[in-house]
Chain A
Amino acid sequence: MYKHILLASDGSENAVRAAKEAVKLASYDKESIIDVIYVIDYEKSKTDVLHANSSEAIDVERRKKNSKVIQFLQEENANFKTTILRGKPGPEIVRYANDQEVDIIVIGSRGLNTLQEMVLGSVSHKVMKRAHCPALIVK
C-alpha cells in the first residue's frame, strides 16, 4: 500500500479534514509514514517579518498555524513527520512530491468558487495536474 503519504497542510480546517483521510490511508500499512508538508509562502514573508519581533517569534506563529493538524495526528497516534518548505505552495508541493517519489498526495480543497479560483488559483488543482503520483483531494 502507500508507504510515503504526503499530507499538504496550510493549517486550516480543510487540512484537518485531509489529515483524517491520510490517517485512514496510513492505517492499511504499519510501515507507512505521513509526511506533513507546510509551505512558507514567499508572499507572506514581508508581512510576517514586519509583524513579528524576531525570527523566533515568526517560527512560533507558524507552528501555531499548523498546530491543529499536528494535534490531530498526535491524538490519532499516527506515524508522521513534518517538513517545512519555502516558496509558492503549489509548485513546491509538486516538486517535493516528485523529488521524493512519494506514493500519494493528500490535500484539502479550499472550496473556492469559479471567480476566486481564477484570481487566487487553486493549489489542489495545480498539484493534482502536475504531480507524478496519485492525489487525493479532500472536500
Chain B
Amino acid sequence: MQNLKQQWFSNIRADILSGIVVALALIPEAIAFSIIAGVDPMVGLYTSFIIAVVISFAGGRPGMISAATGAMALLMVPLVKDYGLDYLLAATILTGIIQLIFGICKVAKVMKFVPNAVMIGFVNALAILIFTAQLEHFIGISTMTYVFVGITLILLYTLPRFIKVIPAPLIAIVALTSIAIFSGVNLKTVGDLGTITQTFPSFFIPDVPWSFETLQIILPYSLSMAIVGLLETLLTSQIVDDMTGTESNKNGEARGQGIANFITGFFGGMAGCAMIGQSVINVKSGGRGRLSTFIAGIFLMFLIIVLGDLVVQIPMPVLVGIMIMVSIGTFDWSSFKYLMKAPRTDALVMLATVVIVVYTHDLSKGVLAGVLLSAIFFVIKISTVKISNKGNRYSIHGQLFFASIDGFVNYFKKADIQSEKIQIDFSGSRIWDDSGVGAVLKVVELLKTKGIQVELIELDTSSKKIMDKLNGVLSSH
C-alpha cells in the first residue's frame, strides 16, 4: 500500500488530465441516471460532484471513480415515485450508514462468496435495464428522434478512431446540440425533463418525519442500495486493481462508500457507487491517484456552473444514444461463450440472475436469488457421493457428512457382493462428522451380518482422527 502523499501527488499531470476527461464523460450519465430515477438532473449532478470529491479522500482504491450510477438509480425508482425526493435523500443517508457498518464488519470477505456467475448476471441485467430505460425516450416519438439517436451512435463508435484526446460523447453532444439549436428541429431536451440550477449544493436535512414509520419505508431500499452499491464497487475495484497491477483496501473502500453516501444525502444527492465504465476511462486516460477522482468531481461542478444553460438544451435523443453505448459497454459479451462452455449449473445461475432482475427491476433480488441458487447447487454437488468398484475394492469419491451419507449407505445395502472380504478405499473421500463415521460403521456392520469382512483403507489423517475418536467412544460400550 502506498502512503497518502504518493496516493495523491505521484502522478499529478496525468491525474489532472484524466480527471477532466472523466468529468466530461460523467455529465451525460449523471443526467441520464437522474432521469431513470425520476428526479431532477441536478440531483445526479450534485451526487456525482459530492461522491467523487468525498471518495477521493475516504475511498480505499485510488483512481477509481464513484458517482451517481444506473444500478442505484434503478433501485430507487419506486421510492421516488411513491414518496418523493426527500425520502430518497433520507434513504441515501441510511444507505451510507449501512455501508459504513458493513465496511467496519469487513464486508469484503463476505462479498467473495458471490460467485462469478452471479456477477456476470448482474452486469448483464444492469445493461439490459439501462437499455430498456431508454426506450420510452425514443420509441414512437418522431422520425427526427430516431435519426438523432442513429447519428449519435455512429459518431460514438467512429470518432474514437480519429480523435483520441476528446471523449466522443462530448463531441457528439456539442455537435448535435448545436445542429439541433440552429436547425430548429423539434426534439425533446434535457430541459423538458427537469431544470439545471447553476449553484453549489447546500446542506439541508431531508424533510421527512424522523419516525419509525419512515424507517420502515426507507430501510428495504437502503438495504438493497447498500448491497448493490458495494457489489458494483468491489467489482470495479477488482477491475482497477487488475488494470493497474496494484492492490487496494476493499473494506476501506466500503467504509468510504458509506461516508460518501451519508454526506451526499445531506446535500440533496442520491445514493451512488463506483462506476466500471468511468473508472476504466480514468485508468486508460492515465489516472492513477486520488487526485484524478478529486479533479473529476471538482471539474464536473465547474462545468455545471459555467455550462448549466447549455446542458438543458442537450436533445434527449443524443443522451439516449450515449446511454445505449453505455449499456452495450456494460454488457458482458463473452457471456454467450460462457453459456455454452460453463458448467450447466453456473450457466443456469447466470440466466436466473438476469431473468429475476429484468422481471423485478431490482438488482438486489437477482443477486440474492443467484447466490441462493448457486449455494443450493453447491450443496447438491458436494453432498453427492459416487462409488466405483473394481474387484474387491470399492472406491468412495466425495465427502462423507450428514447430508451425503444416504447415498453411501444405500449403495452397500443394495450392492450384490460375492466375495467374503472387501476393501473400501477412502483416498478420494474424507469423513467430516459423526454422521460420516456412523455411516461407515453402519456399512461395516451391515456387511458383517451378510458374512462379508470389510477393510477400510487409505483414510486421510483427519478422517482417521475422527474415526478413532468416535470408535473409542463406541467400542467402550
Give the docked Cα–Cα distance between A96 and B241 (Å).
21
* B116 touching A50, Cβ below 8 Å: yes
- Would you give the shortest CB distance from B109 to chain A, in whole angstroms? 13
Known pairs A50-B332, A86-B244, A86-B245; A45 contacts B116 (CB<8 A): no
Task: Find the residue from B123, B238, B242 having the highest chain A CB count within 10 A.
Answer: B242
Q: Which residues of A contact B328 (CB under 8 A)?
A: none
Which of B60-68, B263-271, B276-284, B319-327 sits within the interface?
A: B276-284
* A45 touching B243, Cβ below 8 Å: yes
Known pairs A42-B283, A42-B284, A46-B276; A51 contacts B242 (CB<8 A): no
> Chain A binding site: helix, strand, loop or mixed by DSSP?
helix
Q: Which residues of B contact A84 (CB under 8 A)?
A: 245
- Would you give the shortest CB distance from A32 to chain B, in whole angstroms? 28
* B116 touching A55, Cβ below 8 Å: no
B422 part of interface (Cβ distance < 8 Å): no
* B242 touching A58, Cβ below 8 Å: yes
- Would you give the shortest CB distance from A47 to chain B, in whole angstroms? 5
Known pairs A42-B283, A55-B241, A55-B242; A47 contacts B116 (CB<8 A): no
- Would you give the shortest CB distance from A94 to chain B, in whole angstroms? 15
A1 part of interface (Cβ distance < 8 Å): no
Tally A residues with Cβ within 8 Å of B.
16
* A46 touching B239, Cβ below 8 Å: yes
A53 part of interface (Cβ distance < 8 Å): yes
Our pick among A42, A51, A58, A86 for the contact of B334 (Cβ within 8 Å) is A51
Give the docked Cα–Cα distance between A45 and B277 (Å).
12
- Would you give the shortest CB distance from A89 to chain B, in whole angstroms? 13
* B280 touching A42, Cβ below 8 Å: yes
A49 part of interface (Cβ distance < 8 Å): yes
- Would you give the shortest CB distance from A85 to chain B, in whole angstroms? 9
- Would you give the shortest CB distance from A83 to chain B, in whole angstroms? 12
B75 part of interface (Cβ distance < 8 Å): no
Our pick among A48, A49, A51, A86 for the contact of B235 (Cβ within 8 Å) is A49
Extra inter-chain contacts (15) besides given A50-B119, A50-B332, CB under 8 Å: A40-B242, A40-B245, A42-B283, A42-B284, A45-B242, A45-B243, A49-B235, A49-B238, A49-B239, A51-B116, A51-B338, A54-B112, A58-B242, A86-B243, A86-B245
